[in-house]
Amino acid sequence: MNNYKQTPFNLNSIVAQGNGKICYMVDGYREKDAVTIEIERKRDHYSEPGTEPKWTIDVACARWLERERDSKLSPLDATQNLIQAMSSALAQAREIESNKHTFEAQFQVAEAERKRIAEEEAAEAKVKADADKPVGMKLAKQIVEHMKSQARNTEKGRYAGQNGDQEMTLMLADRGTRRAHEITVHKSWAGLLLFSHGKYGARIAKNDAMVMIAHSAIDALKVDKINFVDPKLVKFMMKF
């Protein structure tokens, strides 16, 4: 009776992806990957530029092995199970290695399919993005200057906001995908106007904010929180 269990795997999928692991759970240890067969297509760190990647197959133990707390096995029995799992993995790895000469061809077929799908998705995304009218740089500049003016004319300090900052937030979305973003400008305690992007407020430069707004979909622009008029109307009036 085996005191280890090999988790299900699909070798063709691992080869097509270019890397993967076959894991063994071993009685007496908590890890689901106490022993692994690691298959990887990679270049050596010291290889010359342009060197073709090589397929490597290795058997390894988990870096940290923790004994099962409720195990009735002695340390020696658990170690014996580990040795048995290693031996089984080594035999399996040898069998896999015997077919290594076929791996690169399988990988290239899968890589060509991934490239084809990526190109189709990129073309579809471009069609959708082109169908979405952009805000444009001229209107984006006007929006940014308006946000700065609104933030500059608000009070700062203890009554300005929960954190001492007064924020002006613009909601926008990518063209095509309509993935939502937010750009915020606030006046700090020191009176500085600071731009940030995203839910967690990553700091960005004013010009970067302008570019993001310019490239976004004008139909998805939400300006109600910055006291700005209908952006489509403003863009229309800019023609005259």
**DSSP 8-state assignment for residue 30:** -
pLDDT tens, position by position, 14-25: 999 999 999 999
Cα gap 102→80, rounded to integer Å: 35
pLDDT tens, position by position, 59-84: 999 988 888 888 888 989 999 999 99
The closest of 62, 56, 67, 58 to 29, measured between CA atoms, is 67
Burial class (CB in 10 A: 0-12, 13-18, 19+), 222: middle
Cα gap 14→37, rounded to integer Å: 11
Cα gap 166→153, rounded to integer Å: 10
Is residue 40 over pLDDT 60? yes
pLDDT tens, position by position, 213-223: 999 999 999 99
- For residue 160, the model assigns a pLDDT of 44
- For residue 155, the model assigns a pLDDT of 60
pLDDT tens, position by position, 23-38: 999 999 999 999 999 9
Cα gap 173→221, rounded to integer Å: 7
How many C-beta atoms surround the C-beta of residue 81 within 10 A?
21
Contact 203, 194 (CB under 8 A): yes
pLDDT tens, position by position, 146-201: 998 888 876 654 344 444 446 789 999 999 999 999 999 988 888 888 999 988 88
Q: Which residue has the higher pLDDT, 13 or 164?
A: 13
| DSSP reduced 3-state for 52 | coil
Q: Domain segments of the chain: what residues?
A: 4-105, 137-237
- For residue 240, the model assigns a pLDDT of 66
pLDDT tens, position by position, 86-145: 999 999 999 999 999 999 999 999 999 999 999 999 999 999 999 999 999 999 999 999
